[in-house]
Each structure stands twice: as structure tokens, then as C-alpha cells.
Amino acid sequence: MLQDNNDIMEKMMIKARAHSNIALVKYWGKKNIALNTPAVGSISLCLEALYTETGVLFDPELERDELVLNGRPATEKERNRVSAFLDIIRRESGMKQAARVESANNFPTAAGLASSASAFAALALAASRAAGMNPDGQSLSVLARMGSGSAARSLFGGFVEMHRGEREDGRDAFAEPLYSADYWPLHVIIAITSEASKKTGSTDGMELSRRTSPYYKAWVDSSEEDLAAMRGALAGRDFQKMAEISEYSCLKMHALAMASNPGLIYWNADTLELLHWVRALREKGTPAFFTIDAGPQLKIICPPEHSAAIVEKLSGHPAVKRTIVSALGPDARILGA
Ligand code: DP6
């Protein structure tokens, strides 16, 4: 009997899958904290190998939202963040019921890769559908952004641009696809240097930078130029140019974070070691470049035909615990539809 009930629940739960992404031109800093609008636009790649699947069921029997993460009940902090997001969905849809949310990543959370990007993109898609909404890509991206800035980009496959927008209400701060994954097949190698969880998450880190880093204004003022240069590199499939702009944006973001007070240092010694390693590799003729987010892992981008050789070289490197290789991924989607 219980099994039957579970089956019915299973059937009614709306499930979505969204892939993780990494930014080539970085997002760091918010314009409006309540709306979670970014101070700068960003450009990212969708990662096929890393994704989150989330199921949502609005249920009149529930008194409050329930959240299960990777098979375990979530902490109160995690539940509150998801509940605050579900409140937005309830406000927009008129749905009055609490929801049961089950979310799981296909990658180990301990690796510091548990990005809020795929999580909130999958949640936005599944929850809006479960609440009877059918938003277009743009409105869905606005919704996902209110959960997490990078999640606005995770709704789309391939190469994606997030606009910072100009409107007070944040309606023009959304992401949209630039090119699909097959426009320019690339591989992303994630070199894991540490499995420890980070001390300062990006939400708190970027707010600290906005308040205290003397470089913040220069960061915001120079962002449009980087986005335009990256659009140009993508339009011409110019790998060298893409490498230069991407490393520049990454190092500029980390310099901004390091100049916060107290300084935010997301790297460890191995991150720095590998960064030099990738540059040396490129100087010797291998097309590859790095990017680093708010953690110590190094992401290496290269054409697919070079990834096996790079992984082979990395596997003997003492700075690398393990590697994950990903091609570029597809749009987020409803599962079983
Ligand atoms: C360094 O999207 O995690 O990865 O909007 O506060 O949830 P919130 O921040 P989040 O920040 C991502 C920062 C980054 C750069 C990037 O992905 O663009």
C-alpha cells in the first residue's frame, strides 16, 4: 500500500535536470541584493558532465516546505534558502501549498563543485512547472537568477551570456544562449586540488568585495569591455583570444577578492602551481587555458582532441587529487516529458 502511495507521489512530482556551468567572463558583485541582480554581465560554458536533478511536488498535506538533498534531509539553512525561492514561485503563480523538493547532484558534493547554478536552475524549472506556470526562457532565467546569479545561465546549453540589465525591477537581468554546444566543441577538465569545503561562499564573498575592495569600481567599469571582447572571440572561434580574455577576467576577479578586507584567498598552493603549469603548456603549443571560481579547483579549457593528453599529464601531477572531464552540455529540461 505504502509502495503504491509512493508510486503516485513519484508520478506527480515534476522533475527537471540542469547542468552546471563555468564562467569565462566572471560574475562577482551584486547591484541589488534583494533581487539578486548582478553588477556585471558574464559569459559561461555549460558542463555536460555535472548536473542536478530536482523534483518538486506542491502538496496540500504539507505544513511547510520539505527538502531532501542527495538522499538526506537538508539543513535548516539550506531549507530556508529553497523556501525563500519557493515563496517567489508561489507569489508569481498564486500557488498556496508547501512543497516537497528532492534534489541530487550526479557529482560528489564534497569536491567543492556543488554549485548553486545547476541546483537553482533545476529548481526554477521544476517548481515553476509544478506550480502550473509555463514561463519562456527569459522569464525562467529571471526566476532562477533570484535563487542564484549563476543559475540564470544554467538553463541554457553551450555558450551563454548573462546580462546585468538596467531596470530597477531586474526584469532585464537574464541569461540567453549565444551558441549551442556543437558550434565549437570544447572540453573542460576540472583538476581537483582539495575536497575541503570553502570558508566564504560566493554570496558573502562578493558582498565583502563590494563593500571593501578598492578595485570594485574598476571591476564593474571594465566589465563591458571584457564581454565585448569575449563575444568577438566566440564569433571568430579564436581560441587564443578566448584564452587571454578568460584568464584576464579570472585573475581580475581574484585580485578584486584578494583586495577585499579581510582578503579573500580562494586558492591553495596547488591552484597556483597548476595555473603556471597550464600557462607553460600553452607556451609550448598546447591550446589550453585555465579559469578558477570561488574555490581551489582549476578548470582547464581545451579542444576535445587535446583533453586526453592533458589529463594523462595531470594524473601524475602531485597537485591534482583527481580530474573530471566534461564536454559542453545541453539546455535544462523537464524529465520524462
Ligand atoms: C565565482 O552564482 O554562486 O562562480 O548569486 O550569490 O548565488 P549568488 O552567487 P553565485 O556566484 C558565482 C561566482 C563565480 C563566478 C561566476 O560563476 O560567474
Report the nearest atom of ligand 1 relative to the CA of 22.
17
Distance (angstroms) between ligand 1 centre and the Cα of 42 equals 10
**pLDDT tens digits, residue range 204-235?**
999 999 999 999 999 999 999 999 999 999 99
**Percentage of residues in the chain having pLDDT higher than 90:** 91
- Regarding the beta carbon of 202 and ligand 1, being less than 6 Å apart is answered yes
- Regarding the beta carbon of 118 and ligand 1, being less than 6 Å apart is answered no
**pTM for the predicted model, two decimal places:** 0.95
Report the nearest atom of ligand 1 relative to the CA of 162.
18
Q: pLDDT at position 229, please?
A: 98
Give the Cα separation of 280 and 288 in Å (integer).
10
**Interior angle at CA 52, CA 97 and CA 325, nearest 5:** 175
- Regarding the beta carbon of 209 and ligand 1, being less than 6 Å apart is answered no
**Percentage of residues in the chain having pLDDT higher than 70:** 94
Please tell me the residue having the least CA distance from ligand 1 atom 1: 293
- Regarding the beta carbon of 139 and ligand 1, being less than 6 Å apart is answered no
C-alpha cell at position 16: 527537471
Residue with the larger pLDDT of the pair 242 and 198:
242
Please tell me the residue having the least CA distance from ligand 1 atom 7: 148
Backbone angles phi, psi at 31, to 5 degrees: -85, -45
User: How much is the average pLDDT of 301-327?
Assistant: 96
**pLDDT tens digits, residue range 250-279?**
999 999 999 999 999 999 999 999 999 999
**pLDDT tens digits, residue range 12-53?**
899 999 999 999 999 999 999 999 999 999 999 999 999 999
Least confident of 156-165, 171-180, 195-204, 276-285: 195-204
Q: pLDDT at position 196, please?
A: 82
- Regarding the beta carbon of 203 and ligand 1, being less than 6 Å apart is answered yes
Distance (angstroms) between ligand 1 centre and the Cα of 7 equals 37
Contact 215, 255 (CB under 8 A): yes
Q: pLDDT at position 1, please?
A: 41
Distance (angstroms) between ligand 1 centre and the Cα of 5 equals 39
Strand pairing report for 66-69 and 72-73? antiparallel
Residue with the larger pLDDT of the pair 163 and 7:
163
* Alpha helices (runs of H) in 188-265, residue ranges in sequence order: 202-212, 216-221, 223-235, 239-258
Contact 31, 206 (CB under 8 A): no
At a CB cut-off of 8 Å and minimum separation 6, what does 37 contact? 30, 31, 145, 164, 165, 170, 173
Distance (angstroms) between ligand 1 centre and the Cα of 27 equals 6
